[in-house]
Structure 1
């Protein structure tokens, strides 16, 4: 059976909605706030789970009020993580302005840590894809994570994220040596490549990894390059918040590929998933939306 290994964090997202972030020494009233389960790896698994795709989830959960929140909501969603740690789980303060743009302030806890023993039992398994996020690689245990993943069997898909350039160079090069699929947005593609043109950036990154490079373009959709160009138009959406949009795009792409869709078809499906995520608060779609997406995958 086709499957994905997803390694990374599950956190409590403290979602704060307001008209506009104040400037330094400013003052503002918020519209409302809510807690939600989030984290890059969780956002990917959330899509795979509700689209009925096979996955293995390696995500440590800590203690404290945020850890208790995460544990209870993972159980409620039917998503399991067998790794429980004594240290406190962190959270992410997500400030969402009226145009849907988000600003993050993260308090990292044990959920971003990694221990090599967590992968020992599944090291002999074969996965179609292995997902890694830049936030975990940036942490002190990041090198151990990369070294452990190098012993696993499967195509790595790496999403460095906006802090990707803060990853120590040796770790970044070690990931590139795994020939990962890169999943980046337009700004990240330009920053990582040093190019001032998106397509040139994708070509340069492909030269280093030798694998598919996916560049998301927001409302304009997505492009990808592996020696051949692929393009998928964006899906119209009324943006409510952009939290988890990129992660959910990864989840949608993986779900489609696990179902056997070609690259361009998978990009189009991922664009649809992402457009529905930005049109809702947080990263959780309705059961009706998930059912329609599952039906679309089944037709293919």
Structure 2
């Protein structure tokens, strides 16, 4: 059975909604706050889970109030994670302004760590996709993670994220040597390529990896390139909260490809899922929204 291997963090997102972040030494009242289970890898798995796609999830959970919260939430969602660590689980403070844009302040705990032994039991299994996030690669155990993934059969899909430029060069080159699908936004594509024009940037990244490059363009949709160009239009929506939009796009793209959709249709479906996410608070859609997307995917 086709499957995806998702490796990375599950964290407690402390969602803080306010009109606008104050300047340094400023002061502001927030509208409200809430806790939500999140993290890049979780956000990907969350999409695969409600779209009924097969996956294995490697995500360590620590101790403390955030770890306890995550265990309860994952159990309620029916998403399995069997790795428990003694150290404290961190959290991410997500400041969401009135236009939906977000700012993150992360307190990293053991949820971003990695141990090679976690993959030993599945080392001989074959996966269609293996998801990696830049945050875990940036950590001190990041090289061990990349080396462990290199020994598993499957197409790597790598989302470096906004901190991707902080990944040590040798580690980044090791990932490129795996010929991963790159999933980036426009700013990240320009930064990673060193180009000033997006199409040149995408072609430059493709020349290095030899594999599909996906670039999300916000309201303008998404483009991709693997020697051929693909474009999927954006879906107009009222933006409430952009937290998890990129992660959910990755998850939906993987789900669509596992379901057998071609690249262009997979991009369009991923755009639709991402549009639903940004129109909601956090990354959790209603049961009705999930069922509608699941039905649509099965009918494509």
Q: Same fold (TM over 0.5)?
A: yes
Cα distance in 1 for residues equivalent to 2:18 and 2:296: 35
Cα distance in 2 for residues equivalent to 1:112 and 1:277: 24
Task: Name the structure 2 match of 1:245.
Answer: 245
Task: Name the structure 2 match of 1:141.
Answer: 141
**Deviations along 1:206-240, whole A, 9 cap, x unmatched?**
00000000000000000000000000001111000
Cα distance in 1 for residues equivalent to 2:26 and 2:85: 38
Cα distance in 2 for residues equivalent to 1:299 and 1:101: 33
Give 5+ residue unaligned stretches, structure 1. none
Report the Cα offset of residue 29 of structure 1: 0.2
How is 1:6-17 mapped onto 2 (pairs within 5 angstroms)? 6-17=6-17
Report the Cα offset of residue 283 of structure 1: 0.1
Query: What is the number of residues matched between the two proteins?
Result: 300
Question: TM-score, normalising length from structure 1?
Answer: 1.00
How is 1:121-160 mapped onto 2 (pairs within 5 angstroms)? 121-160=121-160
Task: Name the structure 2 match of 1:174.
Answer: 174
Structure 1's consecutive aligned runs of 4 or more residues displaced over 3 angstroms after TM superposition are none
**Deviations along 1:165-215, whole A, 9 cap, x unmatched?**
100000000000000000000000000000011111000000000000000
- The answer as to 2:267 corresponding to 1:272 is no
**Deviations along 1:142-169, whole A, 9 cap, x unmatched?**
0000000000010000000000010000
Question: TM-score, normalising length from structure 2?
Answer: 1.00
**Deviations along 1:48-94, whole A, 9 cap, x unmatched?**
00000000000000000000000000000000100000000000000
- The answer as to 2:74 corresponding to 1:82 is no
Task: Name the structure 2 match of 1:49.
Answer: 49
Task: Name the structure 2 match of 1:103.
Answer: 103
Task: Name the structure 2 match of 1:29.
Answer: 29
**Aligned-residue CA RMSD (Å):** 0.3
